[in-house]
Amino acid sequence: MAELVVGIDLGGTKILAGLADKDGNARFTVEEPTSHGADAPVLKQMVSLVTRLLALADAQLHDLNNVVIGIPSAVDPSTGLASLSPNLALPSDIPLAELMREMLHCPVTVENDVNLAAYAEAMAGAGMGERSLAFLSYGTGVGMGLVVNGELWRGAFGRAGEIAYLPIGAEPHARAPSSENGLYEDEVGTRGIRKRFAPAHGSVSDLFAAARSGNVEATMALDEIARSASIGVAAIHAVFDPALTVIGGGIGSQVEFMKLLKAHLAPLLPFDCRLEPSLFDTNAGMVGAVMLAARHARGASPRQANVG
């Protein structure tokens, strides 16, 4: 009887995959840089990662009960088609779940990666026990997942949480058509950081290191990023009113960023907002994928808290 599940967090730079039993008990994890190129080589790469995980557990494909894959894309809950994924070229005319199902010979679910991170935090992380939760990921890109009463809120077309497209800044009507990743992401993602902190200074991690050492330029850049980011958090609380907002991602998980974000958020709204750091940090997407796969394997298919 197939008792194993796999959760995969597919990102633009790396893939993190985990193997667990159907009760969600973790066994093994593997990580690789993401393969890019024509004909979506990442599909075969994911199959290879699943095979590696099974080998570590001395198991075969027939032992696999369920696979959940998180992708940096909106996934239409009706068609299964992926869209809005500028950082990772994925098939847009055939559901990714269908392709992977044929390759792995087991049930496969494809979900937005930040939705899965939100699911992990709501079920077993910083938001456990809360009736509603927003998870905001600040990293190379910016994304959001929403959970209501233990169920993912995807929206009518799977685009709930596509906060990267929040139209912030001056003249958004003029700038939005030329923005590939969305105006909010342009401001607070890696691109926004590099715009404020010259590429010659190095990577995003170098920005935080420089700020910690007292570099004035780095400190000012970090403050500007957090100030812009606070607008998005304020919009979420004004519209969605979550009981808790969890902040994660490579940038969001930094203590300095969280402190500045809270400070800039306070003047924007006439009420308090609860913000907490992610319990699972940058592993949240993979953890959520494993948890959802295990839930499927136990026969408890989650409902969709959709609108529209």
At 81 the three-state DSSP class reads coil
Q: Are 118 and 130 in contact (CB under 8 A)?
A: no
* pLDDT reported for residue 68: 97
d(CA 52, CA 9) in angstroms, rounded, equals 16
Report domain extents, the chain. Answer: 4-116+283-297, 130-278
Q: Are 275 and 233 in contact (CB under 8 A)?
A: yes
Q: Which one of 3.40.50.150, 3.30.420.40, 3.20.20.80, 3.50.50.60 gives the CATH number of domain 4-116+283-297?
A: 3.30.420.40
Which residues face 68 on adjacent strands?
7, 109
* pLDDT reported for residue 241: 96
* pLDDT reported for residue 306: 36
State the CB neighbour count (10 A cutoff) for residue 98.
13
Name residues whose C-beta falls within 8 Å of residue 77's C-beta, 6 or more positions apart in sequence. 154, 157, 158, 304, 306
Ordered alpha helix ranges (H), the chain: 42-56, 96-104, 113-124, 172-175, 183-188, 190-196, 204-212, 216-239, 249-252, 255-265, 284-297
Backbone dihedral angles phi then psi of residue 146, each to the nearest 5 degrees: -125, 135
* pLDDT reported for residue 305: 41
**Domain pair 4-116+283-297 / 130-278, same fold:** yes
Residue-wise pLDDT tens for the chain (308 aa)? 579 999 999 988 899 999 999 998 899 999 999 988 877 888 999 999 999 999 999 999 999 999 999 998 888 888 888 886 666 767 778 898 999 999 999 999 999 999 999 999 999 999 999 999 999 999 888 999 999 999 999 999 889 999 999 999 999 999 999 998 899 999 998 888 888 886 555 677 888 888 999 999 989 999 999 999 999 999 999 999 999 999 999 889 999 999 999 999 999 999 999 999 999 988 999 999 999 999 999 985 544 443 33
Q: What is the pTM of this model?
A: 0.90
Homologous superfamily in CATH for domain 130-278: ATPase, nucleotide binding domain (3.30.420.40)
Sign of CA dihedral 255, 259, 260, 266: positive
d(CA 138, CA 229) in angstroms, rounded, equals 9
